[in-house]
């Protein structure tokens, strides 16, 4: 099984457990580790809930070193709150990468100005990510979608600017926010991003045993 290196950390596999709200708890991460994944993610963690000291949210933070690298995934729509939440996780969690969710399409997240809504405010996003990279003691990575809708496909601009801002890996869900989880995943556009970046690019969206060869054939990391 081929390996992948992210920010100098060699992963034992290029196959990564996708972050899933309500699913990627410690138990799920542990089971996935037993099956050989190279890296796991926490569930989406609300930056505002951390700032308001939510006991439930605090309990979601990884508290011990796990078998493979863990990415702690934050989401939030307010710059200062996101930055303050980084200080909180650095004091209260054990993780290897700090991931910023720029891809979640669900209405309750989008309406907060978080998740994929950041794709519509590109300059603000890049400004925030630069600050995240500056204050985080862990490598910052990110997850995006292709754009808000088919009329606003700014995936390549966002991806290039995120790399310039200092992120060390990019996960791309190959649909727009409007497409949610329906329709064909545009693996060809993920490949376009990969061909234009030097950091690892991870394909996300409907990847399974029935189409793994298709993903491999377009030469994207899955």
Per DSSP, what are the bridge partners of residue 140?
Answer: 98
Per DSSP, what are the bridge partners of residue 97?
Answer: 71
Tokens of 121: 């405010």
In eight-state DSSP terms, residue 76 is: -
Of 26, 27, 112, nearest to 77 by C-alpha is 112
Which residue has tokens 């292709």?
Answer: 146
Check if the beta carbon of residue 86 is closer than 8 Å to that of residue 93: no
Annotated catalytic residue, options 6, 50, 71, 104: 104
User: Which SS3 state, helix, strand or coil, does residue 100 take?
Assistant: strand
Query: 10 phi and psi, to 5 degrees?
Result: -85, 120
Tokens of 51: 């700032």
Query: 103 phi and psi, to 5 degrees?
Result: -125, -15
The reply to whether 124 belongs to the active site is: no
Residues forming the active site: 104
């Amino acid at each position: 099984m081929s390996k992948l290196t992210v920010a100098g950390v060699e992963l034992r596999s290029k196959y990564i457990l996708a972050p899933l709200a309500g699913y990627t708890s410690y138990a799920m991460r542990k089971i996935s580790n037993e099956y050989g994944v190279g890296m796991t993610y926490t569930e989406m963690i609300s930056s505002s809930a951390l700032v308001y000291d939510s006991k439930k949210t605090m309990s979601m933070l990884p508290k011990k070193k796990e078998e493979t690298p863990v990415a702690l995934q934050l989401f939030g729509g307010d710059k200062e709150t996101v930055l303050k939440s980084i200080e909180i996780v650095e004091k209260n969690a054990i993780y290897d990468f700090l991931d910023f969710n720029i891809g979640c399409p669900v209405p309750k997240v989008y309406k907060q100005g978080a998740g994929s809504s950041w794709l519509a405010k590109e300059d603000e996003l890049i400004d925030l990510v630069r600050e995240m990279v500056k204050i985080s003691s862990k490598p910052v990575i990110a997850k995006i979608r292709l754009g808000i809708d088919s009329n606003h496909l700014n995936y390549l601009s966002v991806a290039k600017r995120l790399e310039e801002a200092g992120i060390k890996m990019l996960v791309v869900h190959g649909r727009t926010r409007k497409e949610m989880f329906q329709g064909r995943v545009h693996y060809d556009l993920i490949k376009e991003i990969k061909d234009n970046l030097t950091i690892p690019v991870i394909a996300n969206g409907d990847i399974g045993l029935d189409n793994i060869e298709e993903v491999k054939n377009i030469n994207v990391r899955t």
